[in-house]
Amino acid sequence: MTIDIQRAAQLDRESLFHPFTALNDLYRDGPNVMASGKGLHVTDIHGNTYLDGMAGLWCVNLGYGRQDIVDAIAEQSARLSFFHTFNSMSTDVAIECADALLKRAPVPMSRVFFGASGSDANETQIKLIWYYNNLLGRPQKKKIIARWNAYHGSAVMTAGLTGLPGMHALFDLPLGPILHVTAPHHYRKAAEGMTEREFSRSLAVELEELIAREGADTIAAFFAEPVMGAGGLIATPEGYWEEITPILKRHDILLVMDEVVSGFGRLGTYWGAQTYGLEPDLITAAKGVTGGYFPMSVCYISPKLWDVFEGNRDAAGLFGHGYTYSAHPVGAAAALATLRAIDEDRVVDHVAQVGPYLHERMRAVLGDDPMVGEIRGRGLMIGIELVKDRATKEAFPMAQRVGRQVLKAAADRGLITRALGDTLVFAPPLVIDRESIDALVTIFKAAIDAVRADVA
């Protein structure tokens, strides 16, 4: 590293436009500059080491500094650093990767389409859905339903699909035919006294009413994360999918599972779709496919769509969509090494063991804490919502920024978490062990204790 450590923060503020960052926060107390990582830990330029409770951004599933993935990337970079897949071109490694991914699909899938980010993959999905309905001669069947609090990316269409008003304001979004329905969050959205099942039923009624109002012949697809991540870490209530999937089927609405976070083991099954027994028509994956070692995304295309694409190939001619880095050979090599490691290290079985342990420990230590309103999630995804009054669920005033205070207190103690408002979330590397889970919970409790007096 050639950068002057003393000047790094200032140089950052003068040169780097940060995603999802308030300039006021950056200018006041940022940035936190990381320099290296090994296993579950990252170290900043001043030498402070942190347990990474967020696996980077829900992506470093196998931990940092894995030599097998590093070697695969280095070897492929040396052998063929780039070639594309436009105009019938291909590479040996991209073919092997596509085949390996298809073999791991939760339901039979016909093809994979590669991109470089979760956002571009979901943009691709939207275009595939429209392409499909145009080929079927249903040009009016184009609307897409997503849920409030969903996160599907930050490109123009996908930021609209994302159900976070803060990502719409100032960007003139959503654009296009996008509809939102209530987030499946029992704690915050269910009427007083409603059971989870009753709440799921009410969400099904809302969906039916929306479809009736808009016309089923105008609605193409329903997008969903198995467990919502960036929108507050929300797992679906009991009975949710049993209510929703028959409605989608009845109205010929495609189900798109956004498995950008949940894919490759995070919920203790290889795919989130398997956790919930779902049969998606399209699946979006990214992040964990290379464990964050290389930007890569994957759209899985089921026979339902593929047969239409293939069957109409004379009429369709050129498929006019793609990215320079679709099926990047270095990404494909990184993915192959990652997939191999997930299998060989039995990572998914490991998550099935340690995921429940994380929830158990968090509940044991913080379940009765007066500042904790709800502990939620599934597998190695957990969210802890802090509240001012546990009995009434009253939130802290926004201006108090309690979530951010806890995040900082945790960082001061060597733990990285993420604050989604006052919900603190963890999605650690999938290879985390019980001892490190104990450390995570202990430090997190200490961070809450540290801000308790100030925010009471």
**In this chain, which stretch among 5-13, 98-106, 254-262, 302-310 interacts with ligand PLP, using CB under 6 A?**
254-262
CB 223 within 8 A of CB 121: no
Q: Shortest approach of ligand PLP to residue 447 CB, angstroms? A: 23
For residue 178 the two structure tokens come to: 């996008």
Residue 260 contacts ligand PLP per CB under 6 A: yes
Residue 151 contacts ligand PLP per CB under 6 A: yes
User: Distance between CA 176 and CA 173 in Å, rounded?
Assistant: 9
Residue 257 contacts ligand PLP per CB under 6 A: no
Residue 374 contacts ligand PLP per CB under 6 A: no
Question: What is the phi/psi pair of residue 337, to 5°?
Answer: -65, -40
Residue 153 contacts ligand PLP per CB under 6 A: yes
Residue 117 contacts ligand PLP per CB under 6 A: yes
Q: Which residues, including other chains, have CB under 8 Å from residue 455's CB and lie 6 or more apart?
A: 371, 388, 396, 400, 402, 405
**Residue 448: what residue type?**
I
Which parts of 281-300 interact with ligand PLP (CB under 6 A)?
A: 286
Which parts of 416-435 interact with ligand PLP (CB under 6 A)?
A: none
Q: Shortest approach of ligand PLP to residue 173 CB, angstroms? A: 15
Of 53, 229, 355, 428, the one binding ligand PLP by CB under 6 A:
229
How far from chain centre, in Å, is Cα 217? 30
- The interface mask with ligand PLP, positions 50-89, x = CB under 6 A, is -------x--------------------------------
Q: Shortest approach of ligand PLP to residue 17 CB, angstroms? A: 16
Residue 119 contacts ligand PLP per CB under 6 A: yes
Of 159, 183, 230, 448, the one binding ligand PLP by CB under 6 A:
230
User: Distance between CA 330 and CA 83 in Å, rounded?
Assistant: 10
Of 52, 123, 225, 243, the one binding ligand PLP by CB under 6 A:
225
Residue 152 contacts ligand PLP per CB under 6 A: yes
- What's the first-to-final CA gap in the chain, in angstroms? 44
**In this chain, which stretch among 37-45, 70-78, 222-230, 356-364 interacts with ligand PLP, using CB under 6 A?**
222-230
Positions in the binding site for ligand PLP (CB under 6 A): 57, 117-119, 122, 151-153, 225, 229-230, 258, 260-261, 286
